[in-house]
Structure 1
Amino acid sequence: MSRRSVNPGRRMSDGGLPSVGGLLHSKSRSPRVLTIALLVLGVIVLIAYFNSGPGVTVNSREAFTRSEGSCTSEVIQALPYLKKAYGNDMQKVLHVGPDSCTVVSNLLKEGKIEAWGVEPYDLEDADSSCKSLVRKGFVRMSDIKFPLPYRPDSFNLVVVSDALDYLTPRYLNKTLPDLARVSTDGLVIFTGNPGQQKAKISELPKFGRPAKLRSSSWWTRYFIQTGLTENEGPLKKFEQAASKNNYKPDCQIFHLST
């Protein structure tokens, strides 16, 4: 097919952008530029609206979860203290969050713990050991904005990390009660700490919605509104064990009764 000739009036300037003279003097182009500007403004307003809410925005979910600020990495560090806090209540554990394969693998090494995981994000880049856990059914992908594929009281303990930070209150109202539904003895929730933000923000977002790092007081009020109370016994044991070993978590950790 013959190539269509290029309109000289629509050529770009040397820098790759429309020339200033063209923008100022081309009557035919002005309405189009105005329309594009209005569309861009509308998109910005919509993005701001859907991401509105309390907290500090992290531009990259992947950067947050894979950087030093990862609360899933914090779960691995906290496992010895969780075992001392919950004891026999850690017989059957469900982890919900990114990199669930790593958490499940560490729990299964204990021998006496049944461990299962829910990965709310893509597993395309998973390594062979993670794919093996998925094939065996220990870890599965599931959108946590919808009911989890488990019966009520399926687990003694449910541990959540790097997941609730990415939900708006609208979805939290559904997800949090569902997490409580599948647990008999409690929830342990790891959330990002606005006061200790370590995430890199230079990477482009890969998984859509950015995180909202909400304060401890915000979460406490929300838990009360949802009908969840602080699990005082395990909380005290956890704090004692952590203090004895000078362990100071970077993430916020909430121990809740279900």
Structure 2
Amino acid sequence: MSRRSVNPSRRVADGGLPSVGGLLHPKSRSPPVLTIALVVLGVILLVAYFNSGSGVTVTSREAVSRSEGTCTSEVMRALPYLKKAYGNAMQKVLHVGPDSCTVVSNLLKEGKVEAWGVEPYDLEDTDSSCKSLVRKGFVRMSDIKFPLPYRPDSFSLVVVSDALDYLTPRYLNKTLPDLAKVSTDGLVIFAGNPGQQKPKVSELPKFGRPAKLRSSSWWTRYFVQTGLTENEGPLKKFEEATSKDEYKPDCQIFHLSS
């Protein structure tokens, strides 16, 4: 009889575990059991929701590294085809974007190409090779929202990756013409696809804002409004070269006349 008089609130206070009296009286036990079940289910759903975006848990450094390399890595894959498309225009190249040291180093190894780079973000944890390129002036840090530290027609070709996606139209209106101004033979832009994973909130201190991944039609309209036209000759050669190897880039690639 004493078990029938157990205070339900005490059972909860003792850790939420059902007492013997609760087992004998299902009606008195059902509310807390149902509550516990709903709470557990809610926790499971929340965990599944927050992990569904990436499928894995990563640190902020890993997330930043992965987002930075998206289109710059594409530049490395596309270099052989760019050389076939632009020929002599690949003699003096400026790369603008993160990890410029890698692109510049790769181009300089061939000996026939003069290459420089602009790193729009702070250089962190760079290796000795990159530090050497910075010390010698081949790669420099520069905020691309402001005029580049180069004279007009300083380069034959300008290649941009993982940089314009972080600019609003207000700054694009200044940066894009400035990039075209320092090139004589063309401007190649590698832009992210709208379907790509966007940077995490933890990346904002580095980039200033999340990437705005725009569609091909948006970029095409914007180029027309800015007065930039498609560089038809190199574009055709680039498409012919890539079609032979069935190369399909993960990023959008635009060939513009300077």
**Fold-level similarity (TM above 0.5):** yes
Give matches, 1:48-59, under 5 Å: none
Rg comparison, structure with higher value = 2
Q: Secondary structure at the match of 2:126?
A: coil
Residue 157 of structure 2 is aligned to residue 160 of structure 1: no
Residue 132 of structure 2 is aligned to residue 138 of structure 1: no
Amino acid at match of 2:215: S
Provide, for residues 119-154 of structure 1, a one-character-per-residue CA deviation record: whole Å limited to 9, x for no partner.
000013211110000001000000000000000000
Residue 232 of structure 2 is aligned to residue 205 of structure 1: no
Give matches, 1:178-197, under 5 Å: 178-195=178-195, 197=196
Amino acid at match of 1:93: V
Q: Secondary structure at the match of 2:118?
A: strand
CA, structure 1 residues 200+214, in 2 after alignment: closer, same or farther (shift >3 Å)?
closer
Residue 73 of structure 2 is aligned to residue 73 of structure 1: yes
Match of 2:151?
Answer: 151
Structure 2 Cα separation of the partners of residues 92 and 245 of structure 1: 26
CA, structure 1 residues 110+173, in 2 after alignment: closer, same or farther (shift >3 Å)?
same
Q: How many residues align?
A: 198
Structure 1 stretches lacking a partner, 5+ long: 1-59
Match of 1:239?
Answer: 239
Amino acid at match of 1:238: F
CA, structure 1 residues 240+155, in 2 after alignment: closer, same or farther (shift >3 Å)?
same
Structure 2 Cα separation of the partners of residues 169 and 73 of structure 1: 25
TM-score (norm 1): 0.73
Match of 1:33?
Answer: none
Match of 2:99?
Answer: 99
The runs of at least 4 aligned residues of structure 1 exceeding 6 Å deviation read none
Match of 2:115?
Answer: 115
Amino acid at match of 2:113: I
Structure showing the higher helix proportion among its residues: 2
CA RMSD of aligned residues (A): 1.9
Structure 2 Cα separation of the partners of residues 209 and 62 of structure 1: 18
Match of 2:221?
Answer: 221
Structure 2 Cα separation of the partners of residues 117 and 75 of structure 1: 13
Q: Which has the higher contact order (CA 8 A, sep 6+)?
A: 1
Amino acid at match of 1:74: E
